[in-house]
Structure 1
Amino acid sequence: MEKTFKQILQHRRAINFFDPERDVPEALLRELVEDATHSPSSFNLQPWNIMVLRDKEEKMRLQKLAMNQLKVSEAPVTLIILADTKAWHKDNEAFKLVKKHKLQDGELKEDQIDWFHGVCERLYGKSHDSELAFAVKNTAFFAMSLMYAAAARGLETHPMDGFDHDGVKKEFNIPENYWVPLLLAVGHHAKNAEVLPKKKRKSYDELVLSFD
Protein backbone atom coordinates (compact mmCIF):
# COMPACT_ATOMS: atom_id res chain seq x y z
CA MET A 1 0.00 0.00 0.00
CA GLU A 2 1.33 3.45 -0.90
CA LYS A 3 2.37 5.50 2.11
CA THR A 4 1.11 8.97 2.84
CA PHE A 5 3.70 11.70 3.26
CA LYS A 6 2.94 11.82 6.99
CA GLN A 7 3.65 8.08 7.23
CA ILE A 8 6.94 8.60 5.37
CA LEU A 9 7.89 11.38 7.79
CA GLN A 10 7.11 9.19 10.77
CA HIS A 11 8.78 6.09 9.33
CA ARG A 12 12.11 7.72 8.53
CA ARG A 13 14.65 6.99 11.22
CA ALA A 14 18.41 7.16 11.54
CA ILE A 15 19.02 3.41 11.73
CA ASN A 16 22.23 2.19 13.33
CA PHE A 17 22.17 -1.46 12.25
CA PHE A 18 21.87 -2.58 8.64
CA ASP A 19 21.41 -6.05 7.17
CA PRO A 20 24.55 -6.64 5.07
CA GLU A 21 22.85 -9.57 3.30
CA ARG A 22 20.04 -7.47 1.79
CA ASP A 23 21.18 -5.45 -1.18
CA VAL A 24 19.84 -2.22 -2.61
CA PRO A 25 19.62 -2.97 -6.35
CA GLU A 26 21.10 -0.40 -8.70
CA ALA A 27 17.71 0.26 -10.31
CA LEU A 28 16.15 1.02 -6.92
CA LEU A 29 18.99 3.32 -5.92
CA ARG A 30 18.68 5.13 -9.24
CA GLU A 31 14.93 5.63 -8.63
CA LEU A 32 15.31 7.26 -5.24
CA VAL A 33 18.21 9.45 -6.37
CA GLU A 34 16.28 10.65 -9.40
CA ASP A 35 13.26 11.38 -7.20
CA ALA A 36 15.50 13.45 -4.91
CA THR A 37 16.70 15.57 -7.82
CA HIS A 38 13.32 17.31 -7.74
CA SER A 39 14.48 19.13 -4.61
CA PRO A 40 14.44 22.93 -4.68
CA SER A 41 17.63 24.51 -5.96
CA SER A 42 18.80 28.11 -6.32
CA PHE A 43 18.47 29.06 -10.02
CA ASN A 44 18.23 25.29 -10.60
CA LEU A 45 22.03 25.09 -10.27
CA GLN A 46 21.73 21.74 -8.42
CA PRO A 47 25.15 21.88 -6.71
CA TRP A 48 24.89 18.29 -5.52
CA ASN A 49 26.66 15.10 -6.52
CA ILE A 50 27.15 11.73 -4.89
CA MET A 51 29.77 9.03 -4.72
CA VAL A 52 28.29 5.52 -4.43
CA LEU A 53 30.28 3.04 -2.37
CA ARG A 54 29.35 -0.63 -2.62
CA ASP A 55 32.74 -2.30 -2.50
CA LYS A 56 33.60 -3.58 1.00
CA GLU A 57 37.20 -2.40 0.81
CA GLU A 58 36.11 1.11 -0.19
CA LYS A 59 33.58 1.26 2.63
CA MET A 60 36.19 0.10 5.13
CA ARG A 61 38.50 2.89 4.01
CA LEU A 62 35.67 5.32 4.65
CA GLN A 63 34.74 3.72 7.96
CA LYS A 64 38.22 4.34 9.34
CA LEU A 65 37.72 8.03 8.67
CA ALA A 66 34.19 8.04 10.14
CA MET A 67 34.84 7.23 13.78
CA ASN A 68 34.81 3.54 12.83
CA GLN A 69 31.00 3.53 12.64
CA LEU A 70 30.04 -0.01 11.64
CA LYS A 71 27.04 1.12 9.62
CA VAL A 72 29.39 2.63 7.04
CA SER A 73 30.49 -0.86 5.98
CA GLU A 74 27.41 -2.87 6.99
CA ALA A 75 24.99 -0.91 4.82
CA PRO A 76 24.98 -2.29 1.27
CA VAL A 77 25.32 1.25 -0.08
CA THR A 78 27.05 4.19 1.54
CA LEU A 79 26.93 7.54 -0.20
CA ILE A 80 29.38 10.38 0.06
CA ILE A 81 27.22 13.47 -0.47
CA LEU A 82 29.05 16.25 -2.30
CA ALA A 83 28.25 19.97 -2.33
CA ASP A 84 29.85 21.81 -5.25
CA THR A 85 30.86 25.27 -4.03
CA LYS A 86 31.72 26.32 -7.59
CA ALA A 87 28.47 25.22 -9.25
CA TRP A 88 27.69 28.89 -9.97
CA HIS A 89 30.94 29.36 -11.94
CA LYS A 90 30.64 29.68 -15.73
CA ASP A 91 33.35 27.04 -16.34
CA ASN A 92 31.76 24.52 -13.98
CA GLU A 93 30.08 21.48 -15.56
CA ALA A 94 26.96 21.96 -13.40
CA PHE A 95 26.58 25.55 -14.60
CA LYS A 96 27.13 24.51 -18.22
CA LEU A 97 24.40 21.89 -17.93
CA VAL A 98 21.94 24.33 -16.36
CA LYS A 99 22.77 26.90 -19.06
CA LYS A 100 22.10 24.27 -21.75
CA HIS A 101 18.71 23.41 -20.22
CA LYS A 102 17.70 27.06 -19.82
CA LEU A 103 18.55 27.74 -23.46
CA GLN A 104 16.70 24.62 -24.64
CA ASP A 105 13.61 25.54 -22.59
CA GLY A 106 13.67 29.13 -23.80
CA GLU A 107 14.07 30.43 -20.26
CA LEU A 108 17.18 32.34 -21.37
CA LYS A 109 18.55 33.58 -24.66
CA GLU A 110 22.23 33.35 -25.57
CA ASP A 111 22.75 37.08 -25.02
CA GLN A 112 21.39 36.74 -21.45
CA ILE A 113 23.91 34.15 -20.26
CA ASP A 114 26.48 36.70 -19.06
CA TRP A 115 23.74 38.50 -17.14
CA PHE A 116 22.61 35.22 -15.56
CA HIS A 117 26.14 34.29 -14.55
CA GLY A 118 26.68 37.76 -13.12
CA VAL A 119 23.62 37.39 -10.88
CA CYS A 120 24.89 34.01 -9.63
CA GLU A 121 28.36 35.41 -9.03
CA ARG A 122 27.04 38.37 -7.03
CA LEU A 123 24.92 36.09 -4.87
CA TYR A 124 27.24 33.13 -4.37
CA GLY A 125 30.75 34.19 -5.36
CA LYS A 126 31.23 37.05 -2.88
CA SER A 127 33.31 35.01 -0.45
CA HIS A 128 34.23 31.51 0.64
CA ASP A 129 31.39 31.64 3.17
CA SER A 130 28.80 32.57 0.55
CA GLU A 131 30.00 29.78 -1.76
CA LEU A 132 29.87 27.26 1.06
CA ALA A 133 26.45 28.38 2.28
CA PHE A 134 25.03 28.17 -1.25
CA ALA A 135 26.38 24.67 -1.87
CA VAL A 136 25.57 23.15 1.51
CA LYS A 137 22.06 24.60 1.84
CA ASN A 138 21.00 23.33 -1.57
CA THR A 139 22.66 19.96 -1.10
CA ALA A 140 20.94 19.57 2.27
CA PHE A 141 17.58 19.86 0.48
CA PHE A 142 18.68 17.07 -1.85
CA ALA A 143 19.96 14.86 0.98
CA MET A 144 16.72 15.18 2.95
CA SER A 145 14.67 14.36 -0.15
CA LEU A 146 16.90 11.34 -0.67
CA MET A 147 16.10 10.07 2.82
CA TYR A 148 12.37 10.55 2.30
CA ALA A 149 12.54 8.84 -1.09
CA ALA A 150 14.28 5.90 0.58
CA ALA A 151 11.69 5.75 3.37
CA ALA A 152 8.89 5.75 0.78
CA ARG A 153 10.41 2.59 -0.70
CA GLY A 154 10.84 0.75 2.61
CA LEU A 155 14.56 1.48 2.87
CA GLU A 156 16.40 2.79 5.90
CA THR A 157 19.06 5.50 6.04
CA HIS A 158 21.45 7.08 8.47
CA PRO A 159 23.01 10.50 7.81
CA MET A 160 26.44 10.98 9.39
CA ASP A 161 28.55 14.04 10.02
CA GLY A 162 30.97 12.29 12.35
CA PHE A 163 33.90 11.95 9.97
CA ASP A 164 37.24 13.49 9.07
CA HIS A 165 36.21 15.85 6.27
CA ASP A 166 39.67 16.57 4.94
CA GLY A 167 40.69 12.94 5.36
CA VAL A 168 37.73 11.73 3.30
CA LYS A 169 38.49 14.24 0.55
CA LYS A 170 42.11 13.13 0.41
CA GLU A 171 41.36 9.39 0.61
CA PHE A 172 38.82 9.49 -2.21
CA ASN A 173 40.56 12.10 -4.39
CA ILE A 174 37.64 14.53 -4.11
CA PRO A 175 38.42 17.82 -5.91
CA GLU A 176 38.85 21.03 -3.94
CA ASN A 177 35.57 22.60 -5.11
CA TYR A 178 33.52 20.02 -3.19
CA TRP A 179 32.48 20.18 0.45
CA VAL A 180 31.22 16.96 2.06
CA PRO A 181 28.16 17.81 4.22
CA LEU A 182 27.39 14.22 5.19
CA LEU A 183 27.74 10.53 4.56
CA LEU A 184 24.56 8.51 4.07
CA ALA A 185 24.16 4.80 4.75
CA VAL A 186 21.30 3.19 2.79
CA GLY A 187 19.87 -0.30 3.19
CA HIS A 188 17.51 -2.49 5.19
CA HIS A 189 17.24 -2.69 8.95
CA ALA A 190 19.12 -5.63 10.45
CA LYS A 191 16.88 -8.45 11.65
CA ASN A 192 16.20 -8.42 15.39
CA ALA A 193 18.19 -5.21 15.90
CA GLU A 194 16.60 -2.87 18.40
CA VAL A 195 14.97 0.31 17.17
CA LEU A 196 15.04 2.96 19.86
CA PRO A 197 11.85 4.93 20.54
CA LYS A 198 11.42 8.07 18.48
CA LYS A 199 12.88 11.09 20.21
CA LYS A 200 10.65 13.99 21.11
CA ARG A 201 10.62 16.94 18.74
CA LYS A 202 10.00 20.62 19.36
CA SER A 203 6.35 21.56 19.24
CA TYR A 204 5.04 24.44 17.16
CA ASP A 205 4.97 26.71 20.20
CA GLU A 206 8.52 25.71 21.17
CA LEU A 207 10.06 26.44 17.82
CA VAL A 208 8.29 29.67 16.83
CA LEU A 209 10.31 32.72 17.89
CA SER A 210 9.93 36.47 17.65
CA PHE A 211 12.51 39.15 18.35
CA ASP A 212 11.01 42.40 19.64
Structure 2
Amino acid sequence: MSTSTQIGASSPLFTDVVRERRSVRHYDPSVRLTHEQIKELLQEAALAPSSSNVQPWRFLVIETEELKAKLLPIAFNQSQVTEAAAVIAVLGDTEGYKKADEVYGEAARRGFMPEDRAQSFAERTISMYGALPKEILHKIIHTDGGIVSQQLMLVARAHGYDTVPMGGYDAVKLKEAFGISDRYIPIMLIALGKAAEPGHPTTRLPIDDITFFNEMPAND
Protein backbone atom coordinates (compact mmCIF):
# COMPACT_ATOMS: atom_id res chain seq x y z
CA MET A 1 0.00 0.00 0.00
CA SER A 2 1.34 3.39 -0.96
CA THR A 3 2.18 5.89 1.73
CA SER A 4 2.72 9.61 1.52
CA THR A 5 5.47 11.24 3.55
CA GLN A 6 4.72 14.75 4.74
CA ILE A 7 7.32 17.38 3.98
CA GLY A 8 8.90 18.30 7.29
CA ALA A 9 8.47 21.70 8.90
CA SER A 10 11.85 21.71 10.60
CA SER A 11 14.87 23.16 8.83
CA PRO A 12 18.13 21.23 9.20
CA LEU A 13 21.43 23.06 9.18
CA PHE A 14 22.71 23.62 5.67
CA THR A 15 26.02 21.96 6.48
CA ASP A 16 24.12 18.82 7.54
CA VAL A 17 22.15 18.84 4.29
CA VAL A 18 25.37 19.04 2.26
CA ARG A 19 27.17 16.39 4.28
CA GLU A 20 24.23 13.96 4.43
CA ARG A 21 23.24 14.08 0.78
CA ARG A 22 24.06 10.77 -0.87
CA SER A 23 23.46 9.27 -4.28
CA VAL A 24 20.82 6.69 -3.33
CA ARG A 25 20.19 3.84 -5.74
CA HIS A 26 17.69 1.70 -3.80
CA TYR A 27 14.36 3.21 -2.75
CA ASP A 28 11.37 2.21 -0.67
CA PRO A 29 8.74 1.58 -3.37
CA SER A 30 5.88 2.08 -0.90
CA VAL A 31 6.71 5.78 -0.44
CA ARG A 32 4.88 8.14 -2.73
CA LEU A 33 4.77 11.93 -2.93
CA THR A 34 1.72 13.98 -3.81
CA HIS A 35 1.80 16.44 -6.66
CA GLU A 36 1.76 19.27 -4.14
CA GLN A 37 4.77 17.83 -2.31
CA ILE A 38 6.73 17.48 -5.52
CA LYS A 39 5.78 20.99 -6.63
CA GLU A 40 6.91 22.41 -3.30
CA LEU A 41 10.34 20.81 -3.77
CA LEU A 42 10.55 22.06 -7.34
CA GLN A 43 9.44 25.56 -6.34
CA GLU A 44 12.33 25.80 -3.88
CA ALA A 45 14.74 24.30 -6.41
CA ALA A 46 13.67 26.86 -8.99
CA LEU A 47 14.97 29.66 -6.75
CA ALA A 48 18.38 28.74 -8.22
CA PRO A 49 20.22 31.42 -10.21
CA SER A 50 20.26 31.39 -14.01
CA SER A 51 21.79 33.47 -16.76
CA SER A 52 19.83 36.74 -17.04
CA ASN A 53 17.25 35.11 -14.74
CA VAL A 54 15.80 33.41 -17.82
CA GLN A 55 15.14 30.19 -15.83
CA PRO A 56 15.32 27.87 -18.85
CA TRP A 57 14.71 24.69 -16.83
CA ARG A 58 11.59 22.61 -17.26
CA PHE A 59 10.64 19.53 -15.21
CA LEU A 60 8.94 16.41 -16.54
CA VAL A 61 7.79 14.38 -13.52
CA ILE A 62 7.51 10.68 -14.29
CA GLU A 63 5.63 8.98 -11.47
CA THR A 64 3.15 6.36 -12.65
CA GLU A 65 4.18 2.71 -12.58
CA GLU A 66 3.43 2.38 -16.29
CA LEU A 67 5.60 5.32 -17.30
CA LYS A 68 8.45 4.39 -14.96
CA ALA A 69 8.43 0.92 -16.54
CA LYS A 70 8.57 2.63 -19.93
CA LEU A 71 11.54 4.68 -18.77
CA LEU A 72 13.41 1.70 -17.29
CA PRO A 73 15.07 0.38 -20.48
CA ILE A 74 15.76 3.94 -21.65
CA ALA A 75 17.72 4.44 -18.41
CA PHE A 76 19.63 1.18 -18.94
CA ASN A 77 17.51 -0.77 -16.42
CA GLN A 78 18.68 1.11 -13.34
CA SER A 79 16.49 -0.14 -10.49
CA GLN A 80 15.93 3.30 -8.95
CA VAL A 81 13.77 4.23 -11.92
CA THR A 82 10.94 1.93 -10.84
CA GLU A 83 11.60 1.95 -7.07
CA ALA A 84 11.70 5.74 -6.53
CA ALA A 85 8.55 7.74 -5.95
CA ALA A 86 9.27 9.75 -9.08
CA VAL A 87 11.93 10.44 -11.65
CA ILE A 88 12.38 14.08 -12.57
CA ALA A 89 13.59 14.69 -16.11
CA VAL A 90 15.34 18.06 -16.01
CA LEU A 91 15.04 19.68 -19.43
CA GLY A 92 16.46 22.86 -20.88
CA ASP A 93 14.10 25.05 -22.91
CA THR A 94 15.93 26.57 -25.88
CA GLU A 95 13.10 29.10 -26.19
CA GLY A 96 12.96 29.87 -22.49
CA TYR A 97 14.39 33.35 -23.07
CA LYS A 98 11.12 34.30 -24.76
CA LYS A 99 9.57 34.46 -21.28
CA ALA A 100 11.79 37.44 -20.41
CA ASP A 101 8.77 39.76 -20.68
CA GLU A 102 6.99 37.65 -18.06
CA VAL A 103 10.05 37.41 -15.80
CA TYR A 104 10.94 41.10 -15.80
CA GLY A 105 7.32 42.21 -15.90
CA GLU A 106 6.66 40.34 -12.66
CA ALA A 107 9.77 41.92 -11.14
CA ALA A 108 8.36 45.34 -12.00
CA ARG A 109 4.93 44.49 -10.57
CA ARG A 110 6.59 43.48 -7.30
CA GLY A 111 8.50 46.73 -7.16
CA PHE A 112 11.92 45.17 -7.73
CA MET A 113 12.65 47.50 -10.67
CA PRO A 114 10.96 50.35 -12.57
CA GLU A 115 8.66 49.31 -15.40
CA ASP A 116 10.75 51.03 -18.06
CA ARG A 117 13.88 49.21 -16.93
CA ALA A 118 12.03 45.89 -16.87
CA GLN A 119 10.85 46.46 -20.43
CA SER A 120 14.36 47.41 -21.53
CA PHE A 121 15.87 44.31 -19.88
CA ALA A 122 13.28 42.05 -21.46
CA GLU A 123 13.79 43.47 -24.95
CA ARG A 124 17.57 43.24 -24.65
CA THR A 125 17.44 39.68 -23.30
CA ILE A 126 15.14 38.42 -26.05
CA SER A 127 17.25 40.07 -28.72
CA MET A 128 20.56 38.83 -27.30
CA TYR A 129 19.53 35.22 -26.68
CA GLY A 130 17.70 35.01 -29.98
CA ALA A 131 20.92 35.91 -31.80
CA LEU A 132 23.22 33.51 -29.94
CA PRO A 133 24.86 30.64 -31.86
CA LYS A 134 23.24 27.32 -31.02
CA GLU A 135 26.30 25.92 -29.24
CA ILE A 136 26.60 28.94 -26.94
CA LEU A 137 22.89 28.93 -26.11
CA HIS A 138 23.06 25.21 -25.32
CA LYS A 139 26.10 25.70 -23.11
CA ILE A 140 24.25 28.33 -21.08
CA ILE A 141 21.22 26.07 -20.77
CA HIS A 142 23.34 23.10 -19.65
CA THR A 143 25.02 25.29 -17.02
CA ASP A 144 21.70 26.57 -15.68
CA GLY A 145 20.23 23.06 -15.78
CA GLY A 146 23.12 21.71 -13.74
CA ILE A 147 22.69 24.44 -11.13
CA VAL A 148 18.96 23.80 -10.66
CA SER A 149 19.54 20.03 -10.57
CA GLN A 150 22.00 20.32 -7.70
CA GLN A 151 19.66 22.68 -5.89
CA LEU A 152 16.80 20.19 -6.27
CA MET A 153 18.89 17.43 -4.73
CA LEU A 154 19.82 19.63 -1.76
CA VAL A 155 16.21 20.78 -1.32
CA ALA A 156 15.05 17.16 -1.33
CA ARG A 157 17.61 16.21 1.35
CA ALA A 158 16.57 19.20 3.48
CA HIS A 159 13.01 17.85 3.41
CA GLY A 160 14.07 14.32 4.29
CA TYR A 161 14.06 12.80 0.82
CA ASP A 162 16.76 11.11 -1.19
CA THR A 163 17.92 11.49 -4.78
CA VAL A 164 20.44 10.32 -7.32
CA PRO A 165 21.45 12.19 -10.48
CA MET A 166 21.39 9.99 -13.55
CA GLY A 167 23.37 10.73 -16.69
CA GLY A 168 23.07 7.13 -17.87
CA TYR A 169 20.12 7.15 -20.25
CA ASP A 170 19.43 7.36 -23.97
CA ALA A 171 18.43 10.97 -24.59
CA VAL A 172 17.11 10.28 -28.09
CA LYS A 173 14.85 7.47 -26.89
CA LEU A 174 13.75 9.56 -23.89
CA LYS A 175 12.54 12.30 -26.21
CA GLU A 176 10.82 9.84 -28.53
CA ALA A 177 9.09 7.89 -25.74
CA PHE A 178 7.80 10.92 -23.85
CA GLY A 179 6.99 13.23 -26.75
CA ILE A 180 9.70 15.78 -25.93
CA SER A 181 10.22 18.10 -28.88
CA ASP A 182 13.59 19.29 -30.16
CA ARG A 183 12.92 22.58 -28.40
CA TYR A 184 14.02 20.87 -25.16
CA ILE A 185 17.46 19.55 -24.20
CA PRO A 186 17.59 16.65 -21.71
CA ILE A 187 19.96 17.69 -18.91
CA MET A 188 19.66 14.75 -16.53
CA LEU A 189 17.27 12.41 -14.73
CA ILE A 190 16.91 12.64 -10.95
CA ALA A 191 15.32 9.81 -8.98
CA LEU A 192 13.41 11.08 -5.95
CA GLY A 193 12.05 9.17 -2.97
CA LYS A 194 12.97 7.57 0.36
CA ALA A 195 16.05 5.37 0.63
CA ALA A 196 15.56 1.65 1.23
CA GLU A 197 19.32 1.44 1.68
CA PRO A 198 21.53 4.42 2.53
CA GLY A 199 23.85 5.71 -0.12
CA HIS A 200 27.38 4.53 0.55
CA PRO A 201 29.91 7.00 1.98
CA THR A 202 32.38 8.49 -0.47
CA THR A 203 35.64 10.39 -0.24
CA ARG A 204 36.74 13.64 -1.84
CA LEU A 205 40.10 14.87 -3.06
CA PRO A 206 41.95 17.07 -0.55
CA ILE A 207 40.92 20.68 -1.04
CA ASP A 208 44.58 21.72 -1.23
CA ASP A 209 44.99 19.47 -4.29
CA ILE A 210 42.15 21.10 -6.22
CA THR A 211 42.31 24.77 -5.15
CA PHE A 212 44.70 27.36 -6.56
CA PHE A 213 44.87 31.00 -5.49
CA ASN A 214 45.53 33.61 -8.15
CA GLU A 215 47.47 31.39 -10.55
CA MET A 216 47.61 27.80 -11.72
CA PRO A 217 50.61 25.68 -10.75
CA ALA A 218 53.45 25.42 -13.23
CA ASN A 219 53.95 22.24 -15.27
CA ASP A 220 50.43 20.93 -14.62
Q: Does the TM-score normalized on the shorter chain lie above 0.5?
A: yes
Q: Which residue, 141, 148, 154 being the options, matches 1:142?
A: 148
TM-superposed CA distance for 1:28, in Å, is: 2.1
* Equivalent residues, number: 205
Offset of 1:165 from its aligned partner? 0.8
CA contact (8 A) 1:59 1:72 kept: yes
Deviation at 1:77, TM superposition (A): 0.9
Structure 1 residues 42 and 194: alpha-carbon distance in aligned structure 2, compared to 1, 3 A threshold: closer
Q: Are the equivalent residues in 1 in contact too, given 2:100–2:126 (CA < 8 A)?
A: no
- C-alpha change, 1:187 and 1:102, in structure 2 (3 Å) is same
Matched AA of 1:19: D
* Higher alpha-carbon deviation: 111-120 or 23-32: 111-120
**Which range is displaced more, 101-110 or 25-34?**
101-110
Instruction: Give the C-alpha shift of residue 96 in structure 1.
Output: 3.9
The CA deviation at 1:124 is: 7.1
Please name the residue that 2:90 is paired with: 81
**Corresponding residue of 1:62:** 71
Q: Which residue of 2 aligns with 1:201?
A: 204
Relative to the length of structure 1, the TM-score reads 0.87
Q: How does 1:40-59 map to 2 (within 5 A)?
A: 40-59=49-68
Q: Which residue of 1 aligns with 2:175?
A: 169
Q: Distance in 2 between matches of 1:111 and 1:23?
A: 44
- Structure 2 residue 124 is the aligned partner of structure 1 residue 118: yes
Flag the 1:116–1:27 CA change in 2: closer, same or farther, 3 A.
closer
User: Using a 3 Å threshold, how does the CA distance of structure 1 residues 58 and 114 change in structure 2: closer, same or farther?
Assistant: same
Identity of aligned residues (%): 24
From the superposition, tell whether residues 99 and 3 of structure 1 become closer, same or farther in structure 2 (CA, over 3 Å).
closer
Q: Distance in 2 between matches of 1:121 and 1:170?
A: 31
Aligned-pair distance for 1:4? 0.7
| Shift of residue 84, structure 1, vs aligned partner | 1.1
- Which of structure 1's runs of 4+ aligned residues deviate more than 4 A? none
**Residues 97, 188 of structure 1: CA spacing in aligned structure 2 closer, same or farther, 3 A cutoff?**
same
CA RMSD of aligned residues (A): 2.2
Correspondence for 2:47: 38
How far residue 24 of structure 1 moved from its aligned partner, in angstroms, is 1.9
Does residue 1:98 correspond to 2:107, yes or no?
Answer: no
1:80, 1:9 → 2: CA distance? 22
Q: Does 1:26 align with 2:32?
A: no
Q: TM-score, normalised by structure 2?
A: 0.84
In structure 1, C-alpha distance between the alignment counterparts of 2:49 and 2:119, rounded to whole Å? 21
SS of equivalent to 2:89: strand
Alignment partner of 1:43: what SS?
A: helix
- Name the SS of the counterpart of 1:170 in structure 2: helix
Q: Aligned-pair distance for 1:112?
A: 6.5
Letter of the structure 2 residue corresponding to residue 97 of structure 1: E
SS in 2 for 1:81: strand
Gaps of 5+ in 1: none
